Structure 1
Amino acid sequence: MNDLVTWLRAQLDEDEERTRELLYWTQQTILALKEPKLLGKYIPGWHDWPKVERLCRERLAEVDAKRRILDDAAGYIADGMEAATDGLAGRVVAYLALPYADRPGYRDEWRPE
């Protein structure tokens, strides 16, 4: 289970890094579109950039929430209290990892039943 927790933390770190990079370039694009020489010109899709920015912020909040859930569940497992949760802590970690099952390093043994 420790391998899964470590692997999942790395996936969340990667998600955060990629999302922060996208957020940066989205904000740069929004600023560029406010350039005076572009005012009044039709730029297809210009109105979608704030939506992308919002999605990035939501994704960062989602990654943070997943980290908190993972930390709580991993704490129960590390403290030997998983039995007290009737196995829920381990299942929560396995469920959190499912969206990343197509990434390198995911093991079929981690897939919840």
Structure 2
Amino acid sequence: MGELGTWLRAQLDAVETETRNLLAEAQRVSLTLKEPRLLGREIPGWHSWRDVEQVCVDRLAELAVMRRVVDEHDPTDPCDAHDASLRTVPCDTVLLVALAFARRPGYQERWRLP
């Protein structure tokens, strides 16, 4: 998988770090909002931090699945996919994982499924 595998791992690492940072912030805010001095006060948006926590937990689970797919296909791809010229190419499963990061820098259009 080569270049695609390296790029995908970098994206997974970056998104995981971003998600963990957001989760930590959501947890910090949630704890702050539970302070007794804030009880009974109207705080706009306070309820959404639990939702943010859950979205982060879900995203981390999705990233773990994506990482496992990449690990199972790199360095040796069990799918053994080839193009019309019989050159080894990434299988559709890996290309679908990459598609989740298509808006990030470094994504190459040649990785897009036809």
Aligned length: 109
Displacement, 1:40?
Answer: 0.8
| Superposition map of 1:37-76 within 5 A | 37-76=37-76
Q: Output the TM-score relative to the length of structure 1.
A: 0.86
Q: Runs of 4 or more off by more than 4 Å in structure 1?
A: none
Which runs of no fewer than 5 residues in structure 1 stay unpaired?
Answer: none
CA offset digits 1:68-112 (Å, max 9, x no partner) = 1111122542x7x615xxx89621111110121121111111112
Amino acid at match of 1:64: A
Q: Give the aligned partner of residue 82 of structure 1.
A: 80
42-51 vs 6-15, greater mean Cα deviation: 42-51
Which runs of no fewer than 5 residues in structure 2 stay unpaired?
Answer: 82-87
| Superposition map of 1:13-32 within 5 A | 13-32=13-32
Q: How much identity, in percent, do the aligned residues show?
A: 47
Please give the secondary structure, in 1, of the residue aligned with 2:41.
Answer: coil
Aligned alpha-carbon RMSD (Å): 2.2
| Alpha-carbon spacing, 1:69–1:88, altered in 2? closer, same or farther (3 Å) | farther
